[in-house]
């Protein structure tokens, strides 16, 4: 991609050439390039060159990380006429606006894995449902009793509702708009999904309160420095469990999903809890 853009975009300095992206993410028929904001004067030329090369409906620039509790993307349209698209992954249709809600393709394998480990008849609480990243594949292939999909961002909630209908999952996924720390769910869950970053540990008390009294499984995503793996996250899970009369029976599938920032990693742990 860098070589293509270097040839197609005139007037680039040596430093600007080094800032050109080496790759792209394709979400539906929209390609997203990571671009330094200092390159903004060249965005139109970069966008048109990339659209021609990739034959995409539109090109967007990602100018920074996802921000805030609403997980807002820093993405803007630089070529084409739309930011809404429908992305297909593992047989699931995700309709979204890439400039308004996040979509991490790096979690694709984890979304597929979770759908496979959910057991028939389970009640699942997805604390950070977004547009249905985990809720939809779990409901489609995992055969749970129900999935409660909680989301704080009202824009993401509207796309979640669309996606429930789009995937014929009405009645299997229950969308709930609100802060997952304050939703009066009760102790109903066999399994809780915590697909949020960073500082996910701040929501552990709520996650544990959703588990049935006899316990259950929490899929705990968070960010930790490499030197803290895996003692720090496991100790944290043990400490919070004790407050709810539960013990950490097993911490399995300890996995690095991807690098989050220099020296820090997005990790996931399948934490199984039991009552004392």
Q: What averages of pLDDT result for each successive group of 10 residues across the chain (276 residues)?
A: 92 94 95 95 96 97 92 96 96 97 83 90 97 96 95 98 98 97 94 95 96 96 95 96 93 92 94 95
For 62-76, letters b (16+ CB in 10 Å) and e give bbeebeeeebbbebb
How high is the pLDDT of residue 50? 97
Closest alpha carbon to 273 in 229, 198, 207: 207
How high is the pLDDT of residue 243? 86
- CB atoms near residue 247 (< 10 Å): 14
d(CA 168, CA 87): 16
Write down the architecture of domain 105-275 according to CATH. Answer: 3-Layer(aba) Sandwich (3.40)
Judged by DSSP in three states, 3 sits in helix
Q: Which residues pair with 124 in a beta bridge?
A: 147, 191
How high is the pLDDT of residue 206? 96
How high is the pLDDT of residue 249? 96
Q: How many CA atoms lie within 13 A of 205 on its CB side?
A: 4
d(CA 53, CA 232): 46
How high is the pLDDT of residue 71? 92
CA–chain centroid gap for 238, Å, is 25
How high is the pLDDT of residue 178? 97
Closest alpha carbon to 126 in 49, 207, 224, 187: 207
Q: What's the Cα-to-Cα distance from 84 to each of 27, 61, 97, rounded to whole Å?
A: 10, 14, 4
d(CA 128, CA 132): 9
Looking at the domain 2-82, which fold is it? Answer: GMP Synthetase; Chain A, domain 3 (3.30.300)
The whole-model pTM stands at: 0.92
Strands annotated E in 116-167:
123-126, 146-151
CA diameter of the chain: 68
Domain ranges of the chain: 2-82, 105-275
Return the structure tokens found at 270: 């399948």
Judged by DSSP in three states, 30 sits in strand
d(CA 138, CA 89): 13
How high is the pLDDT of residue 106? 67
């Amino acid at each position: 991609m860098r070589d293509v853009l270097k040839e197609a975009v005139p007037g680039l300095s040596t430093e600007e050439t080094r800032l050109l992206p080496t790759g792209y993410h394709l979400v539906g028929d929209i390609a997203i390039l990571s671009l330094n904001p200092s390159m903004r004067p060249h965005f139109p030329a970069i966008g048109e060159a990339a659209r021609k090369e990739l034959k995409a409906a539109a090109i967007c620039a990602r100018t920074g990380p996802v921000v805030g509790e609403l997980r807002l993307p820093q993405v803007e349209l630089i070529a084409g006429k739309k930011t809404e698209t429908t992305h297909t992954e593992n047989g699931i249709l995700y309709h979204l606006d890439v400039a308004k809600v996040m979509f991490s393709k790096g979690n694709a394998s984890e979304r597929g894995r979770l759908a496979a480990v959910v057991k028939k008849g389970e009640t699942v609480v997805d604390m950070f449902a977004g547009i249905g990243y985990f809720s939809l594949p779990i409901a489609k292939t995992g055969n749970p009793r129900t999935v409660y999909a909680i989301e704080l961002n009202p824009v993401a909630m509207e796309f979640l509702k669309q996606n429930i209908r789009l995937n014929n999952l009405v009645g299997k996924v229950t969308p709930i708009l609100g802060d997952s720390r304050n939703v009066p769910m009760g102790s109903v869950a066999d399994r809780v999904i915590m697909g949020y970053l960073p500082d996910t540990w701040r929501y552990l008390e709520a996650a544990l309160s959703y588990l049935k009294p006899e316990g259950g499984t929490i899929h705990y995503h968070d960010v930790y420095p490499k030197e803290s793996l895996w003692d720090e996250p496991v100790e944290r899970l043990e400490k919070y469990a004790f407050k709810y009369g539960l013990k950490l029976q097993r911490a399995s599938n300890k996995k690095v999903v991807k690098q989050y920032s220099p020296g820090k990693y997005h990790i996931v742990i399948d934490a199984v809890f039991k009552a004392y």
